Amino acid sequence: MLWIYYAFIKTNAYLLITINSFGVLIETIYIIMYLTFAPKKAKIYTAKMIILLNVGLFSLIVLCTLLLFKGSIRLKVLGWICVSFSVSVFAAPLSIIRLVIKTRSVEFMPFSLSFFLTLSAVVWFSYGLFSRDIYVALPNILGFAFGAVQMLLYIIYKDAKVPELENKLPEHYVASTKLENISAESVSKEENKLNIINTIPV
C-alpha cells in the first residue's frame, strides 16, 4: 500500500503500481485464509494489527505527508518510510534463519522461496539503479544479502540428519519445546514430593 502511494506521488512509476497492486491482492487472500482457519485469539490479535497498521498507521502516513510536506521533500520523506518498511519485511526471515541453525534442518525454509527472494531483490535493485531511484534500490541490497544467506544455509544443512519433529510448523516446534520444559519441571517437582514423603518416619 505504501509503495502504491509512493508510486502515485512520484508519477510515471507504473511498474511499482502494478506489482504492488498484485501484492496487495495476494496478501489480502493470505490474510483472509489465515483469519478463516486461525484460533479465536489469533483472529482477534490479527484484526487489531490490521486496524492499527493497515488502516491507522497508513492513514496517518498519508495525512502527514500530504499536509506537512510538499514537492520533492514529500517524495523523500515517503521514500524513506517505504525503505524502513521494506527493510523490516526483508529482516523478517531472521527468525527462520535462527530456527534453521538451531534445529540444523531446512524443513521450514524452502530453497525455491529463498531463490526467488534473491532473484527478486536483484531485479528490483537493478530497476532502482537504472531508474536512479535510491528508495527502490536500497532495501533490495539487504534483500539480496538475506536471500544469499538463506540459500547458503540450505546448502549447508540440506543433508543434515536431525530427529523428526512431531509438529511440522516453526511455531509448533517452539510450543513443543516449551511443553517439554514444563513437563520436565513437573516431573522434577513430583519426584521431590515423593522424596520428601519417603523421608517422613512412619
Residue 182 has pLDDT above 50, yes or no: no
**Region at 191 (left for phi over 0; alpha for psi -120 to 50; beta for the rest):** alpha
pLDDT at 93: 72
Residue 115 has pLDDT above 70, yes or no: yes
For the segment 103-126, the average pLDDT, to the nearest whole number, is 86
Residue 186 has pLDDT above 60, yes or no: no
Smallest CA-to-CA distance from 122 within 150, 145, 155, 94 is with 145
Query: Where is average pLDDT lowest: 48-62, 95-109, 188-202?
Result: 188-202
What is the pLDDT confidence band of residue 173, given thresholds at 50, 70 and 90?
Answer: very low
Q: Which three cell numbers stand for residue 91?
A: 529482516
Q: Which three cell numbers stand for residue 19?
A: 506489482
For the segment 96-103, the average pLDDT, to the nearest whole number, is 82
pLDDT at 169: 53
